[in-house]
Amino acid sequence: MTRPLPDDLLKVPHRREVPFARLTTLGVGGLCRWLFEPTTEVEAQAFVRACAREGLPWRVLGGGSNLVVLGDIDVPVLRLALPKVVQVDGRRLTAPASHGHIALAEAAAAAGLSGLEFASGIPGSLGGAIRMNAGAYGREWVDVLTRYRFLTPEGELVEKAPEPGEFKYRWSFLTGGRVVLSATAQLAVGDPAAIRIQVAEYRARRGTSQPLSKRNAGCIFKNPPGQSAGRLIDQAGLKGLRVGDAEVSPEHANFLVNHGRATAAEFAELMDRVRAVVLERWGVALEPEVEIWRG
């Protein structure tokens, strides 16, 4: 970004030249040249409004657990740093988008509220989870979401209930410059012991089927309708395929893992190779689930 940034944008707390290796769970990528971390909704709104007024492109980052960044990102990146306050009102739980997703599931369990057990093994932020309509074990966010607040690309604040068509499997309309600020889940009163048992069962299932000891970005490809991407990749014989330090996990074929020194380019090449083999072998074009940012 050679253009100087406007003064009102520069008033929003920010850092320079932060490696994406530190901002993403996969641990690769170039530099984030401008990382804006507003601590209030007003600052977040100022960021979006200034960018809209100047016609500046920008991006929004959460916990970086569903992201592969290729190269340096020169445009401003917004990462909310709102105070992590959870409000419990009867069976309704509200939290800011910057709240840790797993920590939120734990807060619900601690409050004796059932419904977020599925979220207990999904890392990242609440905002990223709403944007992705994250889910597991037959449940996804839209099942419990009752209200959410977001900024429009022009920086207007909207608060609403979800409507049909806004959320689908690993997709929501909250893209293209919309920023989730907070969300409310409608939960059920549960038995704390039963909630703990369910969470432990989900975690155990993950522990045996997913490569949690290595850096990864969760499932790389979406499941095609009625099929499992992991099974298609596995049955194409690709487990263990390696490009440099990036590998198709021998534990779960839809996870690519970083053995420590992988580069973004290695992950990009590995993804291309996996897609090409699955297309040739099974005639199925896999669609990335991870977001890919190109510098």
- Site of interaction with ligand EPU (CB under 6 A): 136-137, 209, 218-219, 222-223, 228-231, 234, 252-254, 289
Rounded least distance, CB 111 to ligand FAD, Å: 21
Q: Which does 64 bind (CB under 5 to 8 A by kind): ligand FAD, ligand EPU, none?
A: ligand FAD
Stretch that binds ligand FAD, among 29-37, 209-217, 241-249, 270-278 (CB under 6 A): 209-217
**Smaller CB separation from ligand EPU, 72 or 251:** 251
C-alpha closest to that of 260 among 208, 206, 216:
216
Q: What is the DSSP letter of 141?
A: G
Phi, psi of 149 (to 5 degrees): -115, 140
Distance between CA atoms of 28 and 54, rounded to whole angstroms?
30
Q: Cα 238 to the chain's mean position, in Å?
A: 25
Q: Is 104 helix (H, G, I), strand (E, B) or coil?
A: helix
Distance between CA atoms of 133 and 170, rounded to whole angstroms?
5
Which member of 18, 21, 28, 67 binds ligand FAD (CB under 6 A)? 67
Q: What is the DSSP letter of 221?
A: B
Distance between CA atoms of 199 and 166, rounded to whole angstroms?
28
**Smaller CB separation from ligand EPU, 48 or 219:** 219
Binding string, residues 252-291; x marks residues near ligand FAD by CB under 6 A: ---------------------------------------x
Which member of 65, 94, 223, 254 binds ligand FAD (CB under 6 A)? 65
Q: Is 47 helix (H, G, I), strand (E, B) or coil?
A: helix
Distance between CA atoms of 115 and 109, rounded to whole angstroms?
9
**Smaller CB separation from ligand EPU, 50 or 130:** 130
Binding string, residues 214-233; x marks residues near ligand FAD by CB under 6 A: --xxx---------------
Q: What is the DSSP letter of 288?
A: B
**Residue number of the CB atom closest to ligand EPU:** 218
**Smaller CB separation from ligand EPU, 128 or 162:** 128
Distance between CA atoms of 104 and 81, rounded to whole angstroms?
15
Is the Cβ–Cβ distance between 144 and 151 less than 8 Å?
A: no
Structure tokens at 273: 């190779």
Return the residues of window 161-190 that contact ligand FAD according to CB under 6 A.
170, 174, 178-180
Q: Is 128 in the site for ligand FAD (CB under 6 A)?
A: yes
Stretch that binds ligand FAD, among 5-13, 58-66, 236-244, 277-285 (CB under 6 A): 58-66
Distance between CA atoms of 126 and 200, rounded to whole angstroms?
21
Q: Is 97 in the site for ligand FAD (CB under 6 A)?
A: yes
The contact set with ligand FAD (CB under 6 A) reads 25, 59-67, 80, 97, 122-125, 127-129, 131-132, 134-136, 170, 174, 178-180, 212, 216-218, 291
